[in-house]
Structure 1
Amino acid sequence: MPQPIPLKDQAREKSLVNRRLLVCAGITLVLVAALVGRLYVLQVVQHDQQSAVSENNRVHMLPIAPERGLIYDRNGVVLAANRPSFNLTMTRERAGNVAQVLDELTQVLGLDTDQRQEFDKDLRRGRKPFEPVTLMVGLSEEQIAHLAVNQFRLPGLEVEPQFIREYPLAEHFAHSVGYVGRINEREAKTLDATEYRGTQSIGKTGIERFYEDRLHGHVGYEEVETNAQGRVMRVLDHRDPTPGEDIVLSLDAHLQQAAEKALGERRGALVALDPGTGDILAMVSNPSFDPNLFVKGISFKQYAALRDSIDRPLFNRVLRGLYAPGSTIKPEVAIAGLDSGVITPSSRVFDPGYYELPNYDHKYRNWNRSGDGWVDLSAAIMRSNDTYFYDLAHKLGIERLHDYLADFGLGQKVSLDLFEEAAGLMPSAQWKRATRRQPWFPGETLILGIGQGYMQVTPLQLAQATSLLASKGAWHRPHLAMSVGGQAPVDPNPMPDIVLHDRNAWEQVNQGMQRVMHDPRGIARAAAAGAQYRIAGKSGTAQVVAIRQGERYNRNKTLERHRDNALFVGFAPAEAPRIVVAVMIENGEAGGRVAGPVVREVMDAWLLDEQGHLKAPDASAAPPGHAPHA
């Protein structure tokens, strides 16, 4: 039998549908209420906050880096300039997958893994949102073409024109002007985050570093409106940057080249000063290097070659080289003896070729083993007689000797704007007790009197000490800057002049130094042959390695880098000095024979005109000036 067909329960189904409609309506009402509540919070409660966030996402402050101040020599020759360059920048917010984009870039330009790692370091440095980071400087035309063709693969990367530093005379002023380089992480933490927005380089050495705050200038900005993709839609506000101040140095490019030519290929240092002002006229540390390598970012291979070179081209010998001064300090020791009353100009010492302390049998040898017989002060300076100065140092004692030599700036920083300068060492009994925990011995005073032993000075300190002899004690700190932004720099801590009890001591020492150059028995007479002016000079030969008692120096049995250093200091014209020159030649051996002619060449280049005639006093120096900003 067929089963009966069940009938639908209309009332039950209607009730089920109504319940479902009510649930849906309730859910809808809850969602609408939540939406309205959220809109109320955003539009009313958080209106000010959300408006600011929206504005910040839409409006950005883009920095405009200032143009760095230029650096000139005293005659207007450009030593540090700015040239336009095409640089590669990246804005992370526009790049998307940064690592992938950098991998593509490395492939497109054919870069090595070291360069790829540098990109990562650059991007890790702190920055503001949408602020571009410079990845490469000085793109070539070929690189720009590759980037243009592959732009679709490199989002966030742009080629932008910027100014970069250039040193037209390259290695000639690397140790004085210095160089700029990329800002590293340590430097970034100490710099003003606002002023250095958009700036990629900072002064690393030399004048570039010392006057960084004056050369850098002040950052400008553009307030721009961007779309959701970060593209600039319009400029809302603009403030031009303030360029850095120009600096005019006391250096003379022509004299610098003459000094380099005189020094030749020999390792050493040379510094020339104006004794009346403290102007540094020439400053050579040889060998040198090309500072332009550091501007774009030097490669690991290039830097390793400079760093590991046995000749140390990166080492500034003028400021950081510490050497025994040898006999070049004997004129200062003579001043100490005269001013303290220990000796008079006519005081004589008999020289048999050596000196012995009372009750000691150790012989302190004179460089002339046969001796010079009876010598007074003038002859002792002329002949550089060690025996005379052994005796004088013994009479002075270590404390007086230390104090007088310190008055001449030996063993301390003397410059005004050369931050790299080393202090050196002027030893004393107190210093030895504190550092060596040993007493001071009388023999150490003797060898200090001829510029040996613990004493260490820089070539700049030697030049300054000689400048004080030339200026009769008038202190002018050596400096490179003649004007910064049109204003002459001021010495915040001027040194007191050296005032002697008897000012005739200056002239007496001056006459002895002239005899070094012009007396038939003078040990550097060959260097002054044919000079049209009088030169006051003093040679020095300083040991690099010690020689045993009784042995003689034998250059043929001494390694080249263990041979004596050759030094020479002098000023001219002797009666009215206009230039002071100090030279140190590493392992050059004979100061009078090797370093003396170098000093003479530099003096001729400064004092003589093109026809070989002595210039008038007012024609040898240009007054401080301010070159126009280029």
Structure 2
Amino acid sequence: MKYRHNRKRRMIRVGFLVLSIIFIAGVVLFTIKGITKKEVVKSPEQVLKSYMNCICQKNYSEMYEMITNESKETIEKEDFVKRNSAIYEGIEAKNINIKIIDYEEESLTVKYNTAFDTVAGKVDFKNEVAFLEQDDQYKMVWSNSVIYPGLTEDDKVRVSVIQAQRGQILDRNGRMLAGKGVASSVGIIPGKLENRKKSIVRIAKLLGIKPEDIEKELTAKWVKEDSFVPIKKIAKVKELDLLALDPDETIVEEQKRQEKLLKISGVMISDVEVREYPLKDEAAHLVGYVQNVTAEDLEKHAGEGYTNASVIGKTGLEGVYEKELKGENGCKIYIADSEGKEKEQLAYKIVKDGKDIKLTIDADLQAQLYKNFKSDKSCSIAMNPFTGEVLAMVSTPSYDTNAFIMGMSKKQWDRLNKDKKQPLYNRFRQVWCPGSTFKPVIAAIGLQSEAFTGTDNFGNEGHSWQKDKTWGTYHVTTLHTYSPVILKNALIYSDNIYFAKAALKIGTEEMERSLSMLGFHSSIPFEIMMAESKFSNNKHIQSEVGLADTGYGQGQVLVNPLHLACIYTSFCNDGNVLKPYLLYKENAKAEQWISEAFSKSVSQEVLEGIKSVVNDSHGTGYAIHRKDMWSYVKI
């Protein structure tokens, strides 16, 4: 009996122990659960920060899940996403920073400061938002005022862009090469268009475009019956041009075309501001042109202030100085009420117009060079040999840059591209066979290296010569014979044989070294990127015949015309090659590109020979000799 009694007591004790363990475990589990829940549930401040972080990530759907059920009853998810994305992305909000100012635990209200960057500058404001505990989480009591204090569902956040005026491109005398001009905009008021199909066909024919292009413009979403729908820009006919004693035939024809357009009901012609290029063909390759930005441009230049209404420099100096010319658009972000009236300004950025670019170019000289060579496939460079100022850069044949501004038709574009003379090709940026213009350079290299002197007589070889029989059937030929065969006379008569011999005397190694020192196979320090001059295809002269040909500017020698002009400046500046430049300086001062390329005595001796080419009656350049010029030209 005693054994059973003890056994019973032990069982009671074990049972009590088990119950105690279960109780303690329950308490522990309850506590752990409470702690876990407390740690998992985000505080209102944390929810607010998560909400704002979603704006940066454009995760508007996740933001919607953070608002209360009651808030969701006031706005559908689709509308919530659309509203928030339109506002934040429309003003280009980024770098959003939230600073908690205060938290009222009793009312679950968070007071905070919001700051972020926008397209119009920084926006900074104080705000507050309440939270409710729903589904074991804190949810935001959302309204439009979370976006900005006082914003209602009927309000709109607007962005107004003030377009910067593009800077002008001017010549050295202030003459406009590119700037503000006026064109005529041909447009249609749909509601006034009679016999629509027939009228559109007629308008298209007069404007040189397709009828379907006009239909596309007229059926755009924004178009109403009384809208003025721009169709094409055309040249403005000025009354003064028509009143001239002998008006230009093209101006008269343009006036007739515009009169025919205005006779069609619904057609209107109004003035519109455009980029204008007064020199047209004469400076097309130099000045270049602008065009409306494309989607590709906007992507490539994201964050640089371009909009769908912007233009961008595509070629020439319009492209080179794009950053300086374009300026910075002004911008205003504001809240507008249901009637479109401004309620409050949120941010404002002042417009900065583009800078004017003044060049060393002389417009009159540019035009004159173009007129002299416009029918040829050629390029011309004019440079002040004492300052390095580039006075003219011409490529012919050319094209009218204004055609790109007016809106070039496919037919016009195809005609330009298929033209065998390649008017779009910029020749002054390329390299060409220099021919006889290279002889003074060889003369200077020979004298400087002491390969020969100016009085060395190379001997009269007649009109044809070869070094020896190893040249096979190859001979160097020349047009004139003279005596004595010395450097000055060789320059006057442009003697190929003399300079072929001169190159052989200089030798391959010295020729390559000297030409490399003069900038061959190297970039030219200039605002416009030019092709590199080269004395051979692989930086080495391959043969004796090739070396001889180099002496008179043939063989594999290819020179950029600006580079050659720069080398010539050494003959006027004691042997120093000047650096070329295009930006005008009030007090022009020479800057050396290659110092002491030749000695003073060598440069003076070569210069005298060059002058004789024009001044001597036997000189190959005597046809351009002018007695009235040499009395005051500083040489």
Match of 1:422 in 2: 531
**Counterpart amino acid of 2:306?**
Y
| 2:450 alignment counterpart | 341
Question: In structure 1, what is the Cα distance between the partners aligned to 2:503 and 2:509?
Answer: 10
1:74-153, aligned counterparts within 5 Å?
74-83=172-181, 112=210, 115=213, 138=233
- Counting only pairs closer than 5 Å after superposition, residues 260-271 of structure 1 correspond to structure 2 as 260-263=370-373, 265-271=375-381
**How far apart are the structure 2 equivalents of 1:481 and 1:147?**
49
1:51 to 141, 145, 150: 145
**Partner secondary structure for residue 570 of structure 2:** helix
Report if the CA contact (8 A) 1:65-1:198 is conserved: no
The answer to whether the 8 A contact 1:61-1:223 is kept is: yes
Map 1:355-370 onto structure 2 (within 5 A).
355-358=465-468, 360-362=470-472, 365-368=475-478
Structure 2 Cα separation of the partners of residues 219 and 35 of structure 1: 42
Q: Structure 1's 53 and 411: CA in aligned 2 closer, same or farther, altered over 3 A? A: same
Give SS of 2:286's match. coil
Residue of 583, 598, 601 corresponding to 1:481: 583
The 5 A counterparts of 1:366-515 are 366-368=476-478, 371-372=481-482, 374-419=484-529, 421-427=530-536, 431=539, 440-482=542-584, 495-500=593-598, 502-515=599-612
Aligned to 1:310: 420
Q: Tell me by how many angstroms 1:477 deviates.
A: 2.5
Question: Equivalent residue of 1:346, what SS?
Answer: coil
Aligned length: 459
* Contact 2:292 2:309 (8 Å CA) reproduced: no
Report if the CA contact (8 A) 2:374-2:398 is conserved: no
Say whether the 8 Å CA contact 1:354–1:364 is kept in structure 2: no
- The answer to whether structure 1 residue 259 and structure 2 residue 375 are counterparts is no
> Which of 165, 170, 177 matches 1:67?
165
How is 1:133-282 mapped onto 2 (pairs within 5 angstroms)? 138=233, 163-197=273-307, 199-226=309-336, 236=345, 238-263=348-373, 265-282=375-392
Q: Which residue of 2 aligns with 1:533?
A: 630
- Name the SS for the 1:469 alignment partner: coil
1-structure distance, mates of 2:479, 2:276: 54
Q: How far 1:364 moved relative to its partner?
A: 5.1
Unaligned stretches of 5+ in structure 1? 1-32, 90-102, 124-133, 151-158, 433-438, 535-571, 578-630
| Other structure's SS at 2:575 match | coil
Q: What letter corresponds to residue 308 of structure 1 in structure 2?
A: K
Q: Are residues 524 and 290 of structure 1, via their aligned partners in 2, closer, same or farther at CA, if it must alter by over 3 Å?
A: same
Q: Deviations over 1:200-237 (max 9, x none)?
A: 211111111111100011110122434669x5656736
Write the distance in 2 (CA, Å) between the matches of 1:330 and 1:363.
24
Which residue of 2 is the match for residue 98 of structure 1? none
Instruction: Report Cα offsets for 1:141-178 as digits up to 9, x if no partner.
Output: 9999999979xxxxxxxx99974311122222212111
Aligned-partner Cα distance in 2 for 1:170–1:490 = 31
1:517 aligns with 2:614: yes
Q: CA deviation at 1:119?
A: 7.6
Q: Is the 8 A contact 1:414 1:464 kept in 2?
A: no
AA partner of residue 176 (structure 2): V
Secondary structure at the aligned position of 1:281 is classed as strand
Partner amino acid, structure 2, of 1:468? S
Secondary structure of 1:380's counterpart equals: helix
Report the secondary structure of 1:241's partner residue: coil
1:251-287 CA-to-partner distances (Å, cap 9, x unmatched) read: 1122222223333533322211011221111222122
Contact 2:387 2:589 in 1 (8 A): no
CA deviation string 1:6-48 (max 9, x = no partner): xxxxxxxxxxxxxxxxxxxxxxxxxxx9658857999743346
TM superposition shift of 1:358: 4.6
| Residues 36 and 147 (structure 1), Cα distance of their counterparts in 2 relative to 1, 3 Å cut | farther
Deviation at 1:367, TM superposition (A): 3.8
Is the 1:517–1:527 contact (alpha carbons within 8 Å) kept by the matching residues of 2? yes
Q: Are the structure 2 counterparts of residues 149 and 517 from structure 1 closer, same or farther at C-alpha, using a change threshold of 3 Å?
A: closer
- Does the 8 Å contact 2:572/2:604 carry over to 1? no
Task: Give the match's secondary structure for 1:303.
Answer: helix
Separation in structure 2 between the aligned mates of residue 138 and residue 489 of structure 1, nearest angstrom:
44
**Residue identity matched to 1:68:** R
Q: Deviations over 1:338-371 (max 9, x none)?
A: 1111111222211313333356253654443674
- What CA distance in whole angstroms lies between the structure 1 residues aligned with 2:72 and 2:623? 100
Q: Is 2:282–2:398's contact at 8 Å kept on the other side of the alignment?
A: yes
Question: 2: distance between equivalents of 1:78 and 1:327?
Answer: 36
- Greater RCO (CA < 8 Å, at least 6 residues apart): 1
Q: 1:350 to 1:300 in 2, by over 3 A?
A: same
Question: 1:588-612, CA deviations, whole angstroms, 9 ceiling, x for partnerless residues?
Answer: xxxxxxxxxxxxxxxxxxxxxxxxx
Percentage of identical aligned residues: 24
Q: Which amino acid in the other structure matches residue 270 of structure 1? A: S
Deviations 1:88-115 (A, max 9, x none): 99xxxxxxxxxxxxx9x99998663774
Hey, what does 2:437 align to over in structure 1? 328
Compared with structure 1, are the counterparts of its residues 172 and 523 closer, same or farther at alpha carbon in structure 2 (3 Å cutoff)?
closer
How many Å separate the matches in 2 of 1:239 and 1:170? Answer: 36
**TM value normalised by structure 2:** 0.62
The 3-state SS of whatever aligns with 2:393 is strand
Per-residue deviation, 1:446: 0.8
Cα contact 1:109–1:146 (8 A) shared by 2: no
Structure number with larger C-alpha Rg: 2
Which whole-Å deviations, capped at 9, do the CAs of 1:41-80 have from their partners, x for residues lacking one? 9974334685355859711222222000011111111111
The alpha-carbon deviation at position 86 of structure 1 amounts to: 8.5
Cα RMSD of the aligned pairs, angstroms, is: 4.4
* Contact 2:378/2:395, CA 8 A, preserved across alignment: yes
Between the aligned partners of 2:517 and 2:215, the Cα distance in structure 1 is 52
State the distance in 1 between where 2:447 and 2:266 align. Answer: 80
- CA change 1:463–1:50 in 2 (3 A) is same
Q: 1: CA distance between counterparts of 2:216 and 2:352?
A: 30
**Structure 2: distance between partners of 1:506 and 1:65:** 53
| d(CA) in 1 for partners of 2:513, 2:215 | 54
For 1:436, the equivalent position in structure 2 comes to: none
Residue of structure 1 equivalent to 2:397: 287
